[in-house]
Chain A
Amino acid sequence: MQPDSRHFKANAEAALREPRLQAALKQLELGFVAGRQRCYEALPEFESLRDRARDILDHTLENLDAYLVEYESRVIESGGQVHWASTPVQAREIVIDICRAAKARSVIRGKSMVGEEIGINDALEAAGFEVTETDLGEYILQLAGEPPSHIVAPAIHKTREEISDLFFEHHREHGFTQRQTERSALVAEARQVLREKFLGADVGMTGANFLIAETGSNVIVTNEGNGDLSSTLPRVQIVTAAIDKVVPTLEDASLLLRLLGRSATGQEITAYTTFTTGPKRARDADGPGEYHVVLIDNHRSEMLGSELRPMLRCIRCGACMNHCPVYGRVGGHAYGWVYPGPMGSVLTPIMVGLDEAGHLPNACTLNGRCETVCPVKIPLPTLLRSLRRRQHLQRQNSRLARIALSLWTWVALRPRLYQALTRPAMSLLSRLGAKSGSFRRMLLASGWTRVRDLPAPQGSTFQARWQQRQRGRK
């Protein structure tokens, strides 16, 4: 997908004026946020699990090459194949080659964010394959021709009416001529349409929530069961996964699973958690004959070697965006690329460039709510500040902001001058604003006064009045 993070501000403002999106986003607090909170309160071990999860993942990252090689050996032993890709381009080529070699016609996909990251759908379609998303949310977006706006609930911005219109338009060719408006009827209709796709597909593509070094397994967590059908029915399975998905053992994955569902959707465990290891065994009743894993770097090794390493602990639960007041106002599309919210504001500048995504680290109040809910304790505000530091060093932030800040610090470093300047200035402002108590408009402060008044200062500065009082006492 072409990044559009450059236009964050305009996109965000448009999103704020979109009442249906605003209504959908309001649901987040009542749904995911409240659900996570219930889980949190019901599990006294939650905080110690978070600490442990962080430690396990840090240990894994510190030994990432060794664990990747272990994982690779286990996949090969179980009859699977492992392909490595540094870049999205390489990853796409590998996937297309596998599909061609298998003489495939149709590909079904279980939800995978790394698949979005490498833009696999467009590439497969351009190469002549029929691609169908099977996660209901992703399927809706495929029909609408839109990218996901949330990493867990991709179609969170879509209303029932819009979905009804989309199905009515696209399902006619499958013999569904009646417009459905009830939620259950919409789900049932999609189930029927997609069931045919599942049964007819040659290749099933999924992502991986985790890769297990101990066994060479990939783990998929879903509620719908689409990931399972994608990895069971077609004759070829392709798993696309980033290199930071590997964890050492089944026990390590079990711990992370306790955090994942709770943090993502407020579920102790999702309906389906599946560990898949290699292709169908000789005696197995079903399963694909080929099993491929594409391991993708795409700037992760670069992050590993920088202060952004903690970001690689991310288990893609979405809690940070569910709890982000900015995401909660502007939704996922405003961020302009695959990953929205706090985690996206760290990942996007790295993956598409800080010059393209310069807004993202700044469009944050650093309120820290994301960090307190992140199940793997990623210090998101600190990482966003790091990106601001990079921008500052590369002089990529706005000139006006730089000048204003330099001026302020220059004065702030000279207390006597600061006091000499602020005393008369505040007295004057106070007098001007005394009558109404606050200013509706203020020169050089239009960013402030566009949406709120500026309260007038009380009078002279504290320092001035304090010194006066001290002199009186002497």
Chain B
Amino acid sequence: MSAAREQVLSRVRTALGRGEPGDAQVAEIRARIERHPRHIEPVFDEPAPLRFRQKLEAAEASCATLDSLAQVGAEVERYLDQAGVAKRLVVSGDELLQSIDWPASIDVRPWVAGSDERVSLTSAHRGIAETGTLMLLSGENNPTRLNFLPDYHIVVLTADQLVLRMEDAWDSLRSCFGEMPRTVNFISGPSKTADVEQTVEYGAHGPRCLHVILVG
């Protein structure tokens, strides 16, 4: 181990007035990590889908609610028409999205390295009602770049993926995967900046528009 490491750690220990942490202390720290206690969580009364939608819209994302996955193709077409962009999109390899029936008018391509990424369609792991936030995980079928490079990012989420708070999303992640994916993106609206005159402009580096399709 490096000399700097020892130096930093020994300075920290001197500052704390003790030597290396004993077994008991380490055990206590690990136990706290293991327990990962939840803290004060804000209460809200609205039903989760309503809250989720309101918060997203407040952050200038758009949101559509559909009854079934079968309607997604038409909704995407409507959205692209309304946005006035070419009907071409890159779809992540997520299973949920493979069953969508696409109208012939949309040019749908699976993502491969080097795709033109003006419009992307991805799924999400969870939606968080408290803040209107999407939780997206990187993986084999889910390149993180699809969440950031396109101008338009469309996300399909089923109602049973909605949770109340970020802490619930962590619980779900722990139980589904047991480990952290390389990247966990919490997305709460389109990309924006207020670096010019403290006034918000959308589409700083990431998507200018975020559209969430909530199914069921």
Of A201-209, A224-232, A390-398, A420-428, the segment with at least 4 beta carbons within 8 Å of chain B is: A224-232
A213 touches B (CB below 8 Å): yes
Give residues 19-54 of B contacting A (CB, 8 Å).
20-21, 25-26, 29-30, 32-33, 36-43
A112 CB within 8 Å of chain B: no
Q: Are A86 and B8 in contact (CB-based, < 8 A)?
A: yes
* Residue pair A270, B21 in contact (C-beta under 8 Å): no
Q: Which residue of A lies closest to B15 (CB)?
A: A305
Contacts of B120 in A (CB 8 A): none
Residue A274 at the chain B interface, CB threshold 8 Å: yes
Q: Is A184 an interface residue (CB 8 A)?
A: yes
B85 close to chain A: CB less than 8 A: no
Chain B, Cβ-Cβ closest to A283: B140
A271 and chain B: residue at smallest CB distance: B189
Task: Decide if A165 is an interface residue (CB 8 Å cutoff).
Answer: no
Please report the C-alpha to C-alpha distance between residue A302 and residue B16 in the assembled complex, in whole angstroms: 10
Which one of A49, A86, A163 has the greatest number of beta carbons of chain B within 10 Å?
Answer: A86
Whether A65 contacts B36 by the Cβ 8 Å rule is no
A432 contacts partner chain B, Cβ-Cβ < 8 Å: no
A-B contact pairs, 18 of them (CB 8 A): A62-B16, A66-B25, A68-B9, A137-B195, A156-B198, A183-B199, A183-B201, A184-B201, A232-B144, A249-B32, A258-B42, A271-B191, A275-B183, A276-B183, A285-B140, A287-B144, A297-B12, A301-B15
CA distance A275 to B8 in the complex (A): 25
Tell me how many residue pairs across A and B have CB atoms closer than 8 Å.
265
A252 to B170, CA, bound (A): 11
* Bound Cα distance from A280 to B197, whole angstroms: 37
Q: Does B158 contact A (CB under 8 A)?
A: no
Q: Chain A residues near B184: list those with CB within 8 A.
A: 217, 274-277
Residues in B with CB closer than 8 Å to A276 are 182-184
Q: Does A228 contact B8, Cβ atoms closer than 8 Å?
A: no
Q: How far is the CB of A36 from chain B (nearest CB, A)?
A: 14
Distance from A119 Cβ to chain B, minimum over Cβ atoms (Å): 18
CA distance A96 to B138 in the complex (A): 29
- With A136-B193, A213-B33, A305-B14 in contact, do A286 and B143 touch (Cβ < 8 Å)? yes
Contact A229 B206 (CB under 8 A): yes
The answer to whether B192 and A223 touch across the interface, beta carbons within 8 angstroms, is: yes
Does B196 belong to the interface (CB within 8 Å)?
A: yes
Given contacts A160-B197, A223-B194, A276-B183, contact A63 B29 (CB under 8 A): yes
Measured CB to CB, the nearest residue on chain A to B60 is A271
Contact with B along A188-216 (1 / 0, CB 8 A): 10010011001000000000000001111
Cβ-closest chain B residue relative to A27 = B198
Instruction: Give Cα A160–Cα B21 distance, bound, in whole angstroms.
Output: 53
If A137-B195, A284-B140 touch, does A64 touch B16 (CB 8 Å cutoff)? yes
Of A184, A215, A254, which one neighbours B167 at CB under 8 angstroms? A254
Asked if A248 is at the interface (CB within 8 A of a chain B CB), the reply is yes
The answer to whether the Cβ of B123 comes within 8 Å of any Cβ in the partner chain is no
- Evaluate contact between B39 and A271: CB separation under 8 angstroms: no
Chain B residues in the interface with A (C-beta under 8 A): 2, 4-5, 7-9, 11-17, 20-21, 25-26, 29-30, 32-33, 36-43, 55, 59, 93, 111, 113, 131, 133, 138-145, 147-149, 165-167, 170, 180-199, 201, 203-207
The CA-CA distance from A83 to B2 in the complex, in Å, is 8
**Do A226 and B188 touch (CB < 8 A)?**
no
Whether B182 lies near A280 (C-beta < 8 A) is yes
Residue of A nearest to B185 (CB): A274
Cβ of A412 within 8 Å of any chain B Cβ, yes or no, is no
Chain A hits for B201, CB < 8 A: 183-184, 187
Decide: B5 and A232 in contact? CB cutoff 8 A: no
A348 at the binding interface (Cβ < 8 Å): no
Q: Mark A300-312, 1 if CB is under 8 A from B, else 0.
A: 0111111000000
Q: Is the CB of A302 within 8 A of B15?
A: yes
CB A274 to nearest CB in B, in angstroms, measures: 5
User: Which residues from chain A contact B187 at a C-beta distance below 8 Å?
Assistant: 271-272
| Contact of A136 with B204 at beta-carbon distance under 8 Å, contacts A225-B148, A269-B188 already known | yes
Measured CB to CB, the closest approach of chain A to B146, in angstroms, equals 9
Residue of B nearest to A212 (CB): B180
Residues of A near B16 (CB, < 8 A) are 62, 64-65, 304-305
Query: Across the interface, which residues of B come within 8 angstroms of A160, CB to CB?
Result: 196-197
Query: Does any Cβ of B come within 8 Å of A95's Cβ?
Result: no
From B30, which residue of chain A is reached at the shortest CB distance?
Answer: A70
Name the 10 nearest CB pairs between A and B, nearest first.
A225-B206, A305-B15, A301-B11, A285-B143, A224-B204, A137-B195, A304-B15, A84-B5, A249-B36, A273-B186
Question: Is A24 part of the binding interface, using a Cβ–Cβ cutoff of 8 Å?
Answer: yes
A306 partner residues in chain B, CB cutoff 8 A: 15
- CB <8 Å contact, A70 and B206: no
Contact in complex: B180, A78 (CB < 8 Å): yes
Interface check A365, CB cutoff 8 A: no
**B39 near A52: Cβ-Cβ < 8 Å:** yes
B205 touches A86 (CB 8 A): no
Shortest CB–CB separation between residue A347 and chain B, in angstroms?
Answer: 16
In the complex, are the beta carbons of B37 and A251 less than 8 A apart?
yes
A52 to B196 alpha-carbon distance, docked (Å): 35
Specify which chain B residues have a CB less than 8 angstroms from the CB of A252 in the assembled complex.
36, 39
Q: Considering only CB atoms, which chain B residue lies closest to A276 in the complex?
A: B183
Q: Say whether, besides A191-B204, A194-B205, A225-B148, A153 and B21 are in contact (CB < 8 Å).
A: no
Residue contact B194 to A285, C-beta cutoff 8 Å: no
Contact present for A68 and B12 (CB under 8 Å): yes
Partner of A63, one of B21, B59, B203: B21
Q: Give every chain A residue within 8 A of B17 (Cβ-Cβ).
A: 305
On whether the beta carbons of B9 and A224 are closer than 8 Å, the reply is no
Query: Which residues on B sit within 8 Å (CB–CB) of A156?
Result: 198
Distance of A233 from chain B, by nearest CB (Å): 7
Decide: A250 and B144 in contact? CB cutoff 8 A. no
CB of B20, distance to nearest CB on chain A (Å): 8
Given that A273-B186, A284-B182, A287-B183 are known contacts, is A136 also in contact with B26, CB under 8 Å in the complex? no
Does the CB pair B181–A277 fall under 8 Å? yes
Residue of B25, B93, B196 contacting most chain A CB atoms (<10 Å): B196
Closest CB of chain B to A307's CB: distance in Å?
A: 12
Task: Check if A286 sits within 8 Å of B206, measured CB to CB.
Answer: no
Chain A residues within 8 Å of B113, by CB: 286
> Which residues on B sit within 8 Å (CB–CB) of A224?
191-193, 204-206
